[in-house]
Amino acid sequence: MTLLATRGLSKQFAGLHAVEDVDFDLPKGQVRALIGPNGAGKTTFVGMLCGRIEPSAGTVRFDDHDISALPAHKRINLGMAYTFQITSVFANLTIAENVALAARRRLRGAEVESAVAEALAHVGLREPPDRAAGDLSYGHQRLLEIAMGLVQKPRLLILDEPTQGLADSEIEAFKALIRELSASATILLIEHNMAVVMETADRITVLNFGQVLAEGTPAEIRADRAVQAAYLGTG
């Protein structure tokens, strides 16, 4: 069953084709990686999926419903959660308060506190919960943001550069987390760390100049000469 699909999805900025005519299908339960060179259109594409960027043309469907005109907050209510390339935590709130804000989309009362603790433990963030989010390192702010996504129990979790700023040991823990989460959520992973991509993704979509260059299993993508020339640097 396809959970998320686009047809002819395009975005122009002042005549520049940032994303052009992208057809994309993400089956339920899959871990899909989206990769490509800087400027390939990945962030713009994800922005259109999330409802933060309005397409110039094309459609976005979620669970077989056309959501192309829905604002971002209504897409979240349908079961989409996402983290961004630039962290969007509330710096003046504590760690626990940040996650609690996200949890209250679906929970009330005492349920919130236990859900917050569970989400923080899940991502391996062991900082004191009453510490201000703005005092965290960049990498730990990324983990906090992932916890804010997880606590919503999303059907689709979109992660944009989640391992940026993480130590090697934290990246290993993140790969284990993705494997665990894939049992209950569909995951779209935008990531430059190719070890993470190759070890966690079921399939990979490669964007280049705003268009789909290739799609396949990690082994197929690694062997694709066009992808090697455009991105992997081995061609």
CA distance 196 to 161: 11
Asked if pLDDT for residue 232 goes beyond 80, the answer is no
Q: What is the pLDDT of residues 139-150, one digit of tens each?
A: 999 899 999 999
pLDDT for res 86? 61
Mean pLDDT of 148-176: 93
Asked if pLDDT for residue 37 goes beyond 90, the answer is yes
CATH code, residues 26-52+70-232: 3.40.50.300
Asked if pLDDT for residue 205 goes beyond 50, the answer is yes
| 178 confidence band (pLDDT: 50, 70, 90) | very high
Mean pLDDT of 159-164: 92
pLDDT for res 235? 41
The proportion of the chain whose per-residue pLDDT surpasses 70, expressed as a percent, equals 97
pLDDT for res 234? 52
pLDDT for res 88? 80
